[in-house]
């Protein structure tokens, strides 16, 4: 029962990661040790289907809870304190980095892995910087929401890619959050369909790459995690310290900075404590 509840919490945080600007549901899935299991399951649905389904059921329930609940937060408060809440989740990432690094080297490290780590870090960092300014407003319709679902699916398959950032760039993020909060099925259904199509199409490729290039793939993902986390600061956090944005939050520069630091520390400590709790309940190997 405790393991079931832990997976529910993981799913909730992964769901939040799908719609939290600057983060990726895939990153959080890697951090919480469910990414590779999930990819293998999706790549071969018929293998141990019932057992796998029961294993991931609390993850799916938690993800749905996280997406719906955080959509309410997005509409009510997140716009005002976006930078501060993003720092909380960056803290989650920072607190689990040692565990990720150990996982990446579980099957040994090759000399090329260091270059893969560096290049993937730089690639996602500069990609997010280039896309740091909103591009254009897109009028939402069924095809647009279907494409948005495909984008969210890529956020799971490619850890480090933040679908929410791209949705913000195209002026769709707040509309998506409102649609989910209001249970607008004209938004929700195409999002789900697009997400499922993307995941089923690319999960087999991801599974094959992990089987054949485990070390290289994990160092690639680790670089994506580092690069996307670092890019959050110039794209999301630093702009919140301009005079206009400080006026919106009602915080002074020092108060806003302290708020960011405190939430970052809280996130890092929480992820550390979470890993300690998880150590008491070894991960169930189901494959």
Any idea of the CA torsion for 156, 161, 166, 172, to the nearest 10 degrees?
A: 30
Other CB atoms within 10 Å distance of the CB of residue 270: 15
C-alpha to C-alpha distance for 184 and 274, rounded to whole angstroms: 34
Q: Flag whether pLDDT at 271 surpasses 80.
A: no
Query: Is 56 a domain residue?
Result: yes
Backbone torsions φ then ψ of 198, nearest 5 degrees: -65, -45
Asked whether 159 and 120 are in contact (CB, 8 A), the reply is: no
The model's confidence at residue 281, banded by pLDDT at 50, 70 and 90, is very low
The pLDDT value recorded for residue 262 is 93
C-alpha to C-alpha distance for 158 and 87, rounded to whole angstroms: 22
* Mean of the per-residue pLDDT values of the chain: 80
C-alpha to C-alpha distance for 184 and 177, rounded to whole angstroms: 10
Q: What is the DSSP letter of 131?
A: T
Asked whether 128 and 162 are in contact (CB, 8 A), the reply is: yes
140-150 residue pLDDT tens: 899 999 999 98
Q: Flag whether pLDDT at 59 surpasses 70.
A: yes
Q: State how far Cα 173 lies from the chain centre.
A: 15
The pLDDT value recorded for residue 275 is 61
Query: Is 6 a domain residue?
Result: yes
Query: Is 284 a domain residue?
Result: no
- What is the arithmetic mean of pLDDT over 231-257? 85
Q: State how far Cα 267 lies from the chain centre.
A: 15
C-alpha to C-alpha distance for 260 and 87, rounded to whole angstroms: 6
The pLDDT value recorded for residue 282 is 45
The pLDDT value recorded for residue 162 is 65
C-alpha to C-alpha distance for 75 and 105, rounded to whole angstroms: 41
- What is the arithmetic mean of pLDDT over 64-90? 75
The pLDDT value recorded for residue 110 is 87
- What are the structure tokens assigned to 144, written together? 């647009």
Query: Is 92 a domain residue?
Result: yes
C-alpha to C-alpha distance for 40 and 285, rounded to whole angstroms: 12
Count up the domains in the chain and report the number: 1
Query: Is 211 a domain residue?
Result: yes
Q: The domain containing residue 32 runs over which residues?
A: 2-279
Query: Is 287 a domain residue?
Result: no
More confidently predicted of 235 and 247: 247
The pLDDT value recorded for residue 129 is 76
170-226 residue pLDDT tens: 667 778 888 888 889 999 999 999 988 988 888 888 888 878 888 888 888 788 778
C-alpha to C-alpha distance for 167 and 95, rounded to whole angstroms: 27
25-54 residue pLDDT tens: 777 787 777 887 888 888 888 888 888 899
149-174 residue pLDDT tens: 988 887 788 765 667 766 765 667 77
C-alpha to C-alpha distance for 44 and 204, rounded to whole angstroms: 8
Query: Is 47 a domain residue?
Result: yes
Query: Is 36 a domain residue?
Result: yes
The model's confidence at residue 23, banded by pLDDT at 50, 70 and 90, is low
The pLDDT value recorded for residue 277 is 57
Cβ neighbourhood burial of 250 (10 Å; 0-12, 13-18, 19+): exposed
**CA 23, 52, 36, 211 torsion-angle sign:** negative
- What is the arithmetic mean of pLDDT over 65-85? 73
The pLDDT value recorded for residue 234 is 84
- What are the structure tokens assigned to 183, written together? 């249970």
More confidently predicted of 73 and 55: 55
What is the three-class DSSP state of 248? helix
C-alpha to C-alpha distance for 86 and 82, rounded to whole angstroms: 6
């Amino acid at each position: 029962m405790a393991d079931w509840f832990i997976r529910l919490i993981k799913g909730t945080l992964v769901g939040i990661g799908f719609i939290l600007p600057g983060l990726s549901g895939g990153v959080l899935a890697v951090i919480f040790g469910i990414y590779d299991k999930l990819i293998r399951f999706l790549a071969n649905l018929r293998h141990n289907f019932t057992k796998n389904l029961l294993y991931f059921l609390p993850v799916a329930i938690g993800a749905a809870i996280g997406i719906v609940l955080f959509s309410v937060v997005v509409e009510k408060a997140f716009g005002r304190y976006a930078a501060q809440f993003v720092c909380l989740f960056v803290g989650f990432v920072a607190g689990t980095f040692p565990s990720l690094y150990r996982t990446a080297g579980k099957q040994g490290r090759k000399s090329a892995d260091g270059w893969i780590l560096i290049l993937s870090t730089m690639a996602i960092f500069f990609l997010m910087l280039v896309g740091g300014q909103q591009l254009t407003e897109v009028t939402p319709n069924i095809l647009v929401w279907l494409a948005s679902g495909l984008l969210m699916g890529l956020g799971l398959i490619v850890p480090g890619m933040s679908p929410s950032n791209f949705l913000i760039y195209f002026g769709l993020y707040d509309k998506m959050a409102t649609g989910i909060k209001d249970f607008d099925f004209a938004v929700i259904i195409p999002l789900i369909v697009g997400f499922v199509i993307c995941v089923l199409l690319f999960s087999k490729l991801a599974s094959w790459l992990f089987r054949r290039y485990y070390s290289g793939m994990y160092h690639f993902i680790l670089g994506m995690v580092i690069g996307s986390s670092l890019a959050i600061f110039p794209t999301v956090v630093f702009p919140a310290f301009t005079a206009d944005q400080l006026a919106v939050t009602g915080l002074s520069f020092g108060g806003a900075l302290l708020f960011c630091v405190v939430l970052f520390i809280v996130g890092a400590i929480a992820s550390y404590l979470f890993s300690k709790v998880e150590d008491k309940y070894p991960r169930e190997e189901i494959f």
